[in-house]
Every structure is written in C-alpha cells, then in structure tokens.
Structure 1
Amino acid sequence: MLSLFFLCLCLKSHICFGADTITANQSLSGDQTIVSAGGKFELGFFEAGNTANYYIGMWYYKKLVPDQTIVWVANRVQPVSDRFSSELRISDGNLVLFNESKTPIWATNVSSSSASFIHVVLLDNGNLALRAGSLPLWQSFDQPAHTFLPESKLGFNNVTKRTQLLTSWKNSEDPAPGPFSLELDATSNSFIIKWNRSQQYWTTGFWDQSRHRFSLLSEMLMPNHIFNFRYVTNENESYFTYSLYGANITSRLIMDVSGQVKQLSWLHTGGWKLLWIQPKNHCDVYGLCGAFSRCSEKPLPLCNCLNGYEPKSKVDWDLQDYSLGCSRKTRLQCGNVTGVDGMSDRFIEMSSRLSSEDIQIQNLTYVHSIEDCESICLNDCNCTAYGYSSSSSECSTWKGDMWADENGRTLYIRTAASDYKNPTSNVMLIGRKRTIVIATVSATAGLLTIVFGHFLWKNTLGKRSETIKNLSAAGVENDTELPLYSLRSILVATNNFSEANKLGEGGFGPVYKGILPENQEVAIKRLSKKSGQGQQEFMNELKLIAKLQHTNLVRLLGCCIEAEEMILVYEYMPNRSLDKFLFDPSEKTKLDWGRRFRIIEGIAQGLLYIHKYSRLRIIHRDLKASNILLDGTMNPKISDFGMAKIFDINQTEANTNRVVGTYGYMSPEYARYGHFSEKSDVFSFGVLLLEIVSGKKNAVFYRSERSLTLAGWAWDLWNEGRGIEVIDASIREIFQAHEALRCIHVGLLCVQESAADRPTMASVIHMLQGNEATSLPPTKEPAFSTQKNFSAIGSSQRSTNYSNNALTISLPEAR
C-alpha cells in the first residue's frame, strides 16, 4: 500500500526522480530530473556558472561522467531566475518551458492533429524526443546546441529546409549562441567554421568516400577503432553522422567558445581527454579577439587590447569572451587639430596586420608620401586607420572597427595622443610642442640624414647593380622579380651568421635562421667556400626554384650575391626536415599514420608538378628524407634543387658523365650508366616512401647479411605474407592497415630494377588514393636487394660521386 501511495503521488503532478518520460499530466521543476532508461543522460534545470541564471539542459548521468558536462540547452537565449517556480511541461501538444511568471519562454513549436498520448522521452543516445504515441513530432537532435553526439546528424534537409549546425556558447558561463558555428557546406561536401555566420576561416575539406574521411581532416584516421563515420547525400538531404564501435566509450565533439572544434573522450581515470582540435592555433580563429585587439598564442592572455584601448566588457573578457573587443580609452580629436594638451592624434603601426570587418574604404587617393596619407586621415573625423603603399603611392583610409586578420594588410591605427606609447622606449610621447632648441637640433640632424642618405642610396644602388650583373654573368636573368637582398640585411637578419642562429649544415653549406623586417622568419642558405657543390649548383637552384610555385615545394624568397658571398633566402620551416622526426626514436611518435600518409601524398604531388605541370620539366635527382622540409602544420616541402636537371618539353631521358646523388636513393640505371629520367625520381620516391612507412633508414641495411637495402628487407617480408611487420612499430596500434599496406605495395613498385616497370608519379597518386577494392600490379624483386644485383655498380667504369647517407657530394657537370 505504501509503495502504491508513492506511485500515485508521483503521477499526480510531477515526475519521479529517475523516470525517462514526461507525459501530458506531468511537469518538471526545481531539482527534478529525468534520466534515460540505460542511465546515460539526464535532463533538468542547471545553473550556468555563478550567474543565478537557470536553463533546461541535458548532461551525462553522474554515474557515467561525475563532472556535470552540458551537451544540450533548450532556452539558450532566455534563462529563468527561479527554477522552483518555473516548469517544463506539455502544453497544446508541445513541450513548453514556463518561467516564474508562468510566461512561455521556450517551446518545441510543432503542429500536430494527433491528440493521442503526447509525451517526451529522453533516449540513451542523448536525444530528447516529443512523440504522439509512436509518431515522432520533434527531437533535440534536429536542434543541436554546441555538442555533436554520436548517432545525431549535422547537415541540411532539402524537404524541411531545416539545418543542423553547432553554435558555440557565448562564454564559459553563458550558453547563449556565440559567434562561432560549425555547419555543412553542401556545395563542397565539407564542413566549415564561420564567424558570425558569415566569415569562413576553417574547413574539413571535401568528403573522400574512398578513404572514408574529410580530405583535410587527417585526425579522422587516428582513432579508427573508436569511430564509424558516415556521410550521406541524396536529393532529400545531406548530412554527416558517426557512431561508436564500443558500447562503453563516451565521446563528444563540440564547437568551443575558443572558436575551435574539439573531439573529446571520457577516461574514468583522467577525465575528458582531447583527441584532436582544429584549428590548432587559437590565433587562426577569425574574430576571436574582437575589434582593436591582437592575438598571441603565448604568453596568456590570448587577446590584448592595442595601446590606448581597453576591453569593452571586463566581465566578458575575464570569462575569455573577447568577441566585443576593445574601445578607445580617450576620445579622438576631430580633424587635424591639437587638444588642450597641445597634442594631436597619433597612429600605431601594426606589423601583425589588421583589416576592417567590412573592408569599407572611405577614400583612395594618390599622394607623395606616407605623411600626406596620415594628414588625410587626421582631417577626417570618421577615419579609423590608413594604409599607404610606397610602390604605388596609394593612400587608403578606413572607418569603423578594425579586426585582426593575418591575411590583411599593414595599417596604421588611430589612437589618442595621450594614450600613445613609443613602442621602443615605452615612454609617453610629448606630441608636437617643441622648443626652439629641439627644432634646431632636429634641423641639423635632418641635414646630416639627407647627406648620409644620398651616399647610402648610391652605395645600395651600386650593390644591387652588382648583384644583377653577377646573376646575368652566370646565365640567370632576374625575370622572376625575385627580391635581391643586400649582404648587410643578411648579416643583420642572422646576427652576423651567429652560431646560435645556425639550423644545420649540408653539402651546400650552413643554413641559418634569420629575422627580416616586419619579423618575417626565413631560412638563409650560405654557400660554403669549402663546398663541393660550388657556384654552378647555386645558380642552378636559383634558376629553377625561382620559377616553381607549388604548395609542396619550398619557396625561394630571394638571394644575395655580393662580396664573394652566395646566399639563398627561403621560407622558414619550423619543423625542420623529415629525417629529424622519422629516424629519431624520441621524435617519431609525433608522426602518426595520418601525418605520414599526408606527407607521402604531398611529396608525390610535388614530384608530379615538377615532372608534368610546372613551367619547366625538371628531374630532381636528389630526393631523400633530409631534403623534405616540414612547415608548421607538418606539410611536406621538397627542397634542394642544386642537382636538378631541366628537360625539354618533349625530352623523356638523358645521360651524364658525372653521376651525383645520395647512395641508396639512386636508381640502378643512373648509378651504373648515368642514365636518368622521371623514373629515376620515382625510384628515389619509392625508397623514401618505404622509409616513411617503416621508420627505418635505408642506409642501415648496407651491411646486412639478409638484404642490402630497405626495399629488399620489405620485399622479403611482403613475399612471406608479413607485410604488416614493415610498418613502424610506434604507429602499429593505431593506423589504417589497408592504407599502409597499399603504400608498401606502391613503394615496391617504384623500386623495380627496370625503369619501364616503375609507375609514373601520376599513376602513383592514383594508386595511393584508391580504395581497398582497387587492384595493383604485381611487384618484382627490387633493385639492389641482394649482393648479386648490387655488384654491377662496382664493375661500372663510370665516375660516380655520391654520399653514404644524408650528405650529397657532387662534381661539376654540364647542364
């Protein structure tokens, strides 16, 4: 009787704690919650931070995840202040939230002619469903907040015109929709992140059905034993969904307040573990810091107002919500006038570059100097910033708020003189009030500057002419508009070729890190006077790489030929060369399978470009791990074109009396007879591919009793059906087996004895991108795999010059 009494009491008006359903005669308020049948999710009122604002939300049940983790919020825009007098109940066939004044502030807003058993049920997958009997009327999966749960969808329905997208919270204590959203771009079959639903700043790349992932999201390859991904597109809808292979796995994807997408999994011993994050750098997030603020990865905080500006909302700023940006501390003067303190407005030069939110140019004129441009802005009360181009004499002025943007242009931001700080001395400037003594000194200094500048100009002009003359004498015309750097600027950039700036040394000579004006980081390659490569290789590289433009080729920024110095200036690669990661036990763990496969694809694309699609048809002749550089996101760049050879448009092969290259990477026909073609590079690529997959140096097999080369060792295992043992043990637990085995197969095809048996780079890329069902040609025994087929090199009478490992040695040859 007692149990029956409590049952009736529960059913009378409010639901019992632990039930998974709200029916037409029940409501939820105060501390009451409903819990899914399997004890996975819980729904009820929760408080966001210390705000005394309450929301109807869903979180993981405490027995599953002890830390309350919100995954869905109903009334994101309008909270309630008293959860005990507010209630969630069914009204007129809808689920409705009434506040303390009994005013409806949120509802499912569906229309249904059915009156049969309207109820709401919380399912174990985190979906809150409104039903009329068994007929679905509404579900929370169609209106996600900031969390993408397994089995839910993100996409677009062409029939209902309903879009499922993720929107970040405003800040860590406010679930109101923030500025960042993750949504499907159906035209490109990719997901993009937008700022304010307008400015795109990141994409997953297109959906690659054959590889079962988005093309630019290699992280999808890593946890292949956890997630099952699926992308569906038809005439009715396009959407992406995923499920979990293990019933005991708890994982979620969120659109974070930081403007980054994060995939997290719950570990019972260590809380939420971050599996991946994109974009990786906070400062790649558009609009993160708001107006008149700049972003810095470290030190914290991420965002800092410009000099003379302060946060518009200190409360939001402390909660890491920087979206409102900064505002001026002091009102600007109107026009080019001085204030009561005798000072006029000043300008801050931004080397980090800023651009306007709406890029609205007020005025575009041609002026004689930057001072004239500044004066135009000062005379306009609405002018926020100006930009000046010395090359075109264009003066552009902007109005409105200015936003940080790495792709913007260098601008000068207007600020009150009283708030302006000299960036070098950090002392307040005094403005334009000058004494006669200061004016006299300034005039004298100006005269001396003019005289000195005249001589400096003549000296610089003479040195530039000398550089152009040196280039022409060597047969290199500067028709590529390649910047010519003075030796003085190089010495300043490298701190006089300081050992502290030295990045490494190769056959060419030492390489230094340099800092050019505007804090541009570069790699500076200095020809050593002791180098065996010499001027001819220098000029060869200069002539070739200056005309090559591809994302997987290192970019040449300029050169310097002055006072017997021969210097090349390249884009800086912060992650150094591939061999530094691949063959170092402490570093190779950073190369998971996804990154390795992306590197393999990038190198293949770079080779295909120089073989087929560039302005010049080029054979590299020295492809190896130390000549593959890695940028900040581990994208590969082929470098060192000193040994490269140009082919005529219809030429397919050539011969040389001087063989140059690196032992272990040279094809047999090149090493023995000096015969080279595109297939010579294909052979080198095959060796490099096998090194990337196995994590082993080809050179370590030279004195092996079983096989003389890495390819021979891989061939033996492959023939014995043990191809999986070729794969680097450090990545063998988490990788795409079919993808890795396909790479081994392609690598073995590339190192065939006969050049005719090797594929072209176009075929290599096609095979790498094939699916499991795509068949590949059978492989033959690789070149140099045994002492018998290796000994032919020793019997050759040709003069051969090569290195044993990473250092390339060469003798001059006609090109």
Structure 2
Amino acid sequence: MPPPPQPAPPMRSPYRFLLLFLAILPCLRSVDAQSFDYPTAGPSTFWTNNLSLKHNVTYPDGSMVRAILLRSNPAFFGPSFSVGFFCNAACDAFLLAVFIVYTNSGALITNPMIGSPQVVWSANRDRPVRENATLHFTEAGNLVLRDADSTIVWSTNTSGRSVLGMNITASGNLLLFDRKNASIWQSFDHPTDSLVPGQTLREGQRLIANISTTNWTRGQFYLTVLADGLRAFVDSSPPQVYYIHGFSGPEAKNKSAYVTFTNGSLEFFASFTKPGVPDENITLPSASSVQYMRLESDGHLKLYEWGTTGWNVVDDVMKLYPDNCAYPTVCGEYGICSNNGQCSCPSGISNGSNYFRQINDRQPSLGCSPVTPLSCQSLQDHQLLALKDVTYFSSWLAVEYGTYFPSVASFNLKNEESCQQACLKNCSCKAAIFQYGQNTSDGSCFLPSQLFSLMNNQPTVTHQNSTLYVKVQIAPKTTNGTSISPTSKKKVMGVGAILGFTIGALFAVFLIVGLFVLFMRLKNSHMEEEDQFDQVPGMPTRFSFEELKVATENFCKKLGEGGFGSVFEGKLDDMRVAVKRLDGVGQGRKEFLAEVETIGSIHHIYLVRLIGFCAEKSYRLLVYEYMCNGSLDKWIFYRNQDIALDWQTRCRIITHIAKGLSYLHEECRQRIAHLDIKPQNILLDDNFNAKVSDFGLAKMIDRDQSHVMTRMRGTPGYLAPEWLTSRITEKVDIYSFGVVVMEIVCGRKNLDYSQPEESIHLISLLQEKVKEDRLLDLIDNHSNDMHWYREEVIKIMQLAMWCLQIDSNKRPSMSTVVKVLEGAINVETCLDYNFVATTPVMSSNTNHLDASPPQSASLLSGPR
C-alpha cells in the first residue's frame, strides 16, 4: 500500500503573496459588487426607505442617498447611475429618483468629499415621501411607491403586462422589461427637469423646472417640443414663450417631432420644416466625462459635466438675445432689468407716492409690487401707466424672428387705442403691449394676465415699434373743495339727527334686544361650527380669510363655478392654487364640512389635493392644488377651443378616473361614495393626468353596511336608477363613471338638447346603436385617430355598458374596471343592453327623513 500523499512544501517564491492576492482578487471584487452592484431586480421585491437599506450615504451638503440599484462605472471609479431614495438638507422628504453618484469599484464612497448626487429623474417630485415609505415591485409586474401611511403615491401601472424585471441602464434609464428584453415602461418616456445623453424629448413632452433648488415641486418654467421647433415657456394664462429654436433638420420617420441629446449636440427631427427658419442642431461641448442638462428654476437650460473637482456648468444651452434680461423672472414681476444687470421698479407717482415699490429692498431681483393692489371692484379707478424706453422680456424674439412672440396667443386688435381700452375693461389684464406691423398702420395686441420682468431698450434692441402700458390702481382721493360745504353739511346733519332720534326713540329698546338675541345665537352657532372644524381628523392647513383674499387678489380671476360656490385662481408664496368659495350658507356648510372631512384625510395621486381651508365667521373656502388644464368638460365638449384629445390621452384620463374611484371605494377605512362624478368634477394637469375633485356630496359607508339611505343628490344625467329608492351604495359612482366614459368616447354631453330629438339622450342612443351593431356611429368625429383604434374604442364602450347595468349588482367594482383597462381581464360578455330605467322604483322605507319622493327616470340618467 503506497504511503499517503504528503502536503506540498510551503511556497517560498518571492512572488507568492502577489500570486495569492491575484488569485483572491476576483472573489474580493465579486463580494464588493454583490454587496451593492445590482443593476437589475425581479418582481416580488420590497424596499423600505429607512436605515435597513444597506447603502445609506450622507454627503457634505446634507443630502442623502439610499440606493437600491446601481449600474457601476465600467472604469470602477467615477460617476455612475443609481436608483433609490434621495433627500436634501433636513431629509424630511424623499424622492424616488434616478441620480448620478461617484462610485469606487462599484460601491458608493463612504465619505464622499466631492460630487454630491445629481437627480436626473424622479417619480414623485410633487409628493415627496417620508421615512419608512416603501417601494414594491409586485409579482404582477407593477412598481408601486407608497408613503409611510401606506397611501399610494406613484405607480408605473404595468400590472399584467408580462414584466420580467427592472433595470437601471448605463445611460441612466430606469426600465421594466419583458422576457424578450423589450421595454414595457421606461423613465426616459417620463422626463422631469433633466436630459441625459441618449435621451429623447418628443413632441408634447416637457422638461419642467423645479420651484427652487430645495423645492422639487414643478415650477413656472417648461421646455417643450412642438411640431415646428423647441420652445421654452413661463407658465401663466396663457403661457408666455421666452425661447424659440426652429427646426430645419431631417423629417422624423414617425411624423412626430423630437429632440435627442447626443454627445456634442441637441439633434432635431421635425414633423415638418418651417420655411424661412434657419435654425439647425444646437452644438454643445463634447463630453470628456458624464454629462447631463437640466432646466433650472430660473429658466436657464444648463449643461453639466463631471470634472476632477465635481460638477461644473460647461454651457448655458439657450442663448437668449441680448443677455439675461430676456429671462422672464430675472427681476421678478414688474421689475425692470437694465443692461448692467440692475433691477428697478417702474416710475410713476400718484398722490405723492410711487405706484410701485420693491418687494425686498435688499433683494431687488425679487421684483416689485403695486403700492395700491389692483381691485376688480374698482375698475373705474384703473388707468394705464406708459413706460418710456421699456419693453417686455420677450422683445428680443421680434429682433430674431421679425415678429412678436409674447405668448402662444395674442389678440387681434389692430390699433393701439383699442388695445389699451381692452386692457382697461379686462379685470385680469396687467398690461397692454402693442406691437406695430411693418407699415405701422396696424399691429397685434398682447394683454398678459401676469406681468413678468421688463427690460430697458438697449442699442442692440431698438424696439421703437412697440409700446408698453402697465395697469395701476389710482389711490382713493380725499375730499376736496367741490364736496358738500360745511354749512350745508351741518343743516343736513341737523335734520337727519332730529329724524333719527325721533325714530330711534320708538324702536331703540326693541332693536337692542333683537340685536343682542341675534348676536348670542350667531356666536353660539359659530362656536359650534368652529368646534366642528377643530375636530376634523387629518386637518389640512387652516388659512385666514384675509390670507386667501390677498392670495386671490380679492377674488378677481374666476376659474369656474358650481352648485355651491365659485373657484378662483390664487397664489400662496410660489405655489399656484385654486380657491373654492362657498357663495351661500345653510345647506352649503354641510357640503363644506363633508369635503374637508373626506379629502382632508385621504391622499391619492388621482384625487385633487386639498392644501387647506378657511372657516372664519360666515366664510367657507377650500384651497386646492392648481390644475392648469381645467376641467374635462371643456376638452371633450369643445367649448371655446378646437383641439381634440387623441385616443391615448382619453384612455389615460379614463384610467386615472377609475383608479381614483377604486381608491375611494376599496382602499379607505370607510367606503367613500363620491356621488357627483361628471366631467366638470374631473380636473386635468399640464400633462393631462386626470384627478377627481369636488367631494361636497360625498358619503361615507361603513364596511359592514350593505347600503345607506340618503336623499337624492348629484347631477341629472349622471344619476343611477337606484337613486329612485334612496338606497344607494358606491355602485352609483360606477354608473356615473359609465356615463362619463361614453361622453369621453363620443365627444358630447349625455343630455344635449342641441341634438335631434331622437339623439338628445346619449345613453338611450347607445341602447339603440348596440342593438343595431352600429357602435362606431357614436365615435367622436373631431378626433381622426379614434377610428384608427376601433377595436380599443369598442372595448372601452363595452366596459362603459358593463358599468351602466340597471341592476347595480351586475356592475363591476372599480378595481375590476382598472384591471380591464390594464388588460388583465376581459369585459363581461353577458350584459343587459337596456340601460335606462323605464319604471320608477318606489322606496320601501317611508319613515326615512332624508329620502326624496320618487322621481321619474328622466331626472336620473335621462329621458327614455
């Protein structure tokens, strides 16, 4: 038997330590990479935003990243793209973001001294989350962000689309992909304020700047691609353009214009080339390291590049002519910018004082404010102040393009006098700007509702063919010599005094007693109401009436009105808001309390956010987030505009409404029935994302209740048949949703008395068309692409018919509706195509005080 093998003698080569190190180096690298360098993740993955995440890194400027996925730099050192939670300063609010971080061998530097993280995309810029928020990559393939209280803040809405995994690419694109590695969803399709090399900005998409470097909420400035060029706007009503770059590049193959950020240029592809526009691709400094560009809060588009000392600005991409004075907010509202960069206020004196004053004497760039605020109650005291040698910030566009581009729209007033008069008659007008044509016999008039920075005429911008008048309020005049003389005044006062004392002696006691009783009742009533509001759970911010009066400029700009009040545009600090004022008392107070209680305690991406309220004496006001595209009805019923929504936008709006209602019905502690779903109560933001609003009629339904008894409420034409019994559930919203879906698809009102008699009631018409198999007759003819998606349109109409079932038990839940819209399940095929109740249903509970008398079917969904 041979002896057992003996161990080899120790290696005594001088290179043994080097060979050993080289042998274990791959193991060390893989351990380091495994600890963080994960560029992909699969479904059923869950992350919590707290210190349990392994990679929490705090930077010298106070910002912090909690990385989830990292695409490490191929060179092992330098900037890399990562996705995770990000915060700055106090770290009391977090973004789910894609950011660029400096890495060392695929892992974040523990104590980075250079190169703070740079956010290039975020999912929830308008709704930051808190500590212990969660990100869930669900088994169904949906990426869902929830706040610490479990409310849904954001989602990719990709459930049921065969998503296999999530990946952060080397170019910084967060994407969800299927088994064929095809993209199902990607962050590049949803830009925020930045572009990275390889990213495309398509026609209709926007880069929207933050309010400030510390406030991520969407601000005033946005950059967008139109069919004939790239334009930058400052948001107002209407938006005002401050930069134009026309397209002269190759035509886009997909017939939709776009811009692509490449190494060394912004490349343009036009849906058509505008004649006479000489602009070409914008040349940029070639990249020697990682680059990105961001639309800043001051309106500049800046190109950043990584250097040895951190991030550096290497180009200001939008070259405005002649200098920074052409930016809308360089000197704030009403501020005049000089060629040396100084800011001043318009000159003009009334009653010994200036019309305008600096908002902050130490910071002139913050702008100016009128000494006497403009009041819509005193139009007779408005006058125009002519400003000599002063033009508007966008005057440089006239020099560059030979025409005036202060806005996407101007008024067709052909002479200067009519322009001035139009401004004086328009309460919201802040200035009259008249641009003469080439022959000086006519021109165009612009009446801005918000006046941004002005600028002095400069030698390079001789704008002699333009005049600018700023509206001011004349200060109240004191009594002068033409007033009533003292002698006459004494005689009048003497006669009045005798008469007053005579009448007063007869009724003084009764008046005093009556006033005392009335005062005590009002006092007790107000105290009870104040106590009510103090007990509202999840109370939002409470404002004083004076604060909201100032914010709305004395309620001068009305956005709309409804059954219980009017809505006005306002501004709180740097945030635009919509202020709803209840015009009446009594019944309206119940609706007000219902709305504060309902929406004040819930939060959802597809519900309009309640910012605060005012309950002071008899004043009742609600402060909402501002939705710049207004209500849905003006976009589908074609009031005052000819733009038809495309089919994809309509589908997105329908889906958002469904998700908002699904949250109300199924995800709150109590079921919440909205009870007034109609296009007027669906609001649209600047990207045509839809949000449900107006909770004044909402009703809470306990989970153990099968139904509730209540008086009839809502809007004729949208009421479900069961309202005839006063026994209702959240299923009445589903019927109303079905009506709204049909209105969106057909582009007309449910009850339209301008139609022939047989077509007045849309749901009755639908009932006839489906039996004749002629549903395509109902499709909105204003939109050409509706017929390109016939199969999808018919499917949505079938979904609407499922929701319109007279028997509420046969209607789907809103969560089921959402699944149909996302393609997870199919529409029920066994449907009753009689959608209109023909026989009133009598209430069986005659003792219920709130129940309304039985109504005819025509007051519900409409006439037979």
Normalising by structure 2, we get a TM-score of 0.44
Normalising by structure 1, we get a TM-score of 0.46
